[in-house]
Amino acid sequence: MLAALSLLALLVDGVLAAFVFRQSGSNDETSHPLLRLATNAASPGQVVEVSLSHFASRARVRLTRDVQEVVRIDQIAGQQGTYIQMDVTGQAKVRLRIDERWEPGNHVVVAEDVMTRYVASAPLQIVGIGPAQPPHMQLSQDHFDMGSSLQGSNSIQSLHLRNTGGE
């Protein structure tokens, strides 16, 4: 009798474990929000298509870059203002306009659900138009005379260094 109860308990435990593992592996309700860019490199003036998925149904999502800098979204039917309205399946597509405020280099595009604070992000590299100019460092003076003074005394003079070249 004890063996039969143990076997029954193991069988029930196995069925429950299989159910839990199948649920946690599902891609529908348990997936994290996802942000996909049509391209990972763009230049000023270009438009990049952004696909959002796995957000809550009808969620309001705000699109920013880097540290909470609002980005410019081309208006698409159903999208108003600075927020993106997800559809009933938690998905949306918008166009991100790369304007002159985007400096060349690496950036992070972030989509945040305003209610749950769930976020999704993707990297985007902004490339300049034409070849990049190399940096050119220039000093404010050609030479310094610190003078003769006692050892240990302070001899402070200003030196300014600036970049007169490119990035």
User: How far is Cα 150 from Cα 166, in angstroms, rounded to an integer?
Assistant: 42
Best CA proximity match to 96, nearest among 139, 52, 48: 48
The answer on pLDDT for 7 being more than 70 is yes
Per-residue pLDDT at 162? 82
The answer on pLDDT for 152 being more than 50 is yes
Domains of the chain listed by start with CATH number: 34-126 (2.60.40.10)
Three-state DSSP class for residue 162: strand
Q: pLDDT tens for residues 72-81?
A: 787 665 555 6
Three-state DSSP class for residue 9: helix
Considering the entire predicted model, what is its pTM? 0.59
Per-residue pLDDT at 102? 87
Upper half-sphere CA count for residue 52 (Cβ side, 13 Å) = 33
pLDDT band of residue 19 (cuts 50, 70, 90) is low
Three-state DSSP class for residue 141: coil
